[in-house]
Amino acid sequence: MNPVPATAGPVERNGVFMSDKKLKVIVAGLGRIAWQYHLPEIVKHPNFELLAVADPLAERLEEARTAFNVPHTYETFDAMLAHEPKANLLVLTSPTCFHPRQAIAAMERGLDVFCEKPLANSLEDAETMVAAMKRLGRKLMVYQPHRVRPETLALLDVLNSGLLGEVFMVRRVCSRYSRRNDWQSLLEFGGGMLNNYGAHFIDQFMYLFGQAPYRPASCELRRVVSSGDADDVAKITLVSGNGVIGEIDINMASVINDNSWTVWGSRGAAVLKSDAWQVTYIRPEDIP
């Protein structure tokens, strides 16, 4: 086997990308998304070294010490940032309302930031974070994993095949009954299904069909069964610069489960059913 040149960058071995650089990571917030997604990936990857976590709940910190062998735990974000000078990456999984201050504080200390979606509660706050990134020369990344989900990658193959012709409309539906009572149900913390699932589905649409500039979007929000004051029903309509219509229906007050996705093109359509795409199309030579 030929040796890999030093300038070759990350190398994939057994499905894991290896690099000479090990990122020293701190994590802010030990809610579900950190516990089920970020922390397991950090501790199993050889190029990450978990230095510390921060969360206001002492019992959660104790659980993290046991479950993930965390060297240092802090009850406040500021204490963690002050006492971990070797860190070079912050994984920001705290509620959305804390993102701007914590991200900017980390970048001012020389850290890059991997931030949970959505980036912020408002466009003004998001622009402030981006401006700080540019001013400080840091990286500010947003966690958008739905771009690489199997159904997204499979649909990308269908679109690239040209079988559907010119796509003109897309409809994404996510409905079930879920009466939340956590911070995601409260507006003051940045909760609501527009910010939660909506951030994923809008990003999927823009990734697959988006061509700037976008026309002004329309959005109807309702709170139906949520224990808090944030929306649990959202109807979003988007139109990309090349005219593709996108309809996103999110309904957490539905006793009928529906997780469907339909893409219409000039020569066919694709429907996501039972985690598989069903494609129906007509060949150009068969059109009367």
- When pLDDT is averaged across residues 49-58 and rounded to a whole number, the result is 97
pLDDT, residue 11, reads 55
Residue 4 pLDDT > 50, yes or no? no
Q: What is the pLDDT of residue 73?
A: 97
pLDDT at 3 over 70: no
In this prediction, residue 175 carries a pLDDT of 96
Residue 12 pLDDT class (50, 70, 90 cuts): low
Half-sphere exposure of 206 (CA within 13 A, CB side): 13
Residue 35, pLDDT above cutoff 50: yes
The three-state secondary structure class of 140 is strand
The model's confidence at residue 7, banded by pLDDT at 50, 70 and 90, is very low
Mean pLDDT of 168-184: 94
Among 158, 115, 184, smallest CA distance to 262 is for 158
Residue 162 CA to residue 265 CA, distance in Å, equals 9
Closest listed residue to residue 108, CA positions, set 80, 137, 79, 83: 137
pLDDT in tens, 85-125: 999 999 999 999 999 999 999 999 999 999 999 999 999 99
206-224: pLDDT as tens digits? 999 977 778 888 999 999 9
Reported as a pLDDT band with limits 50, 70 and 90, residue 131 is very high
- Report the chain's mean pLDDT, rounded to a whole number: 91
Residues 184 and 191: beta-carbon distance below 8 Å: yes
Exposed/middle/buried for residue 102 (C-beta within 10 Å: 0-12, 13-18, 19+): buried
Q: What is the CA radius of gyration of the chain?
A: 22
What's the pLDDT tens digit per position in 227-266? Answer: 999 999 999 999 999 899 999 999 999 999 999 999 999 9
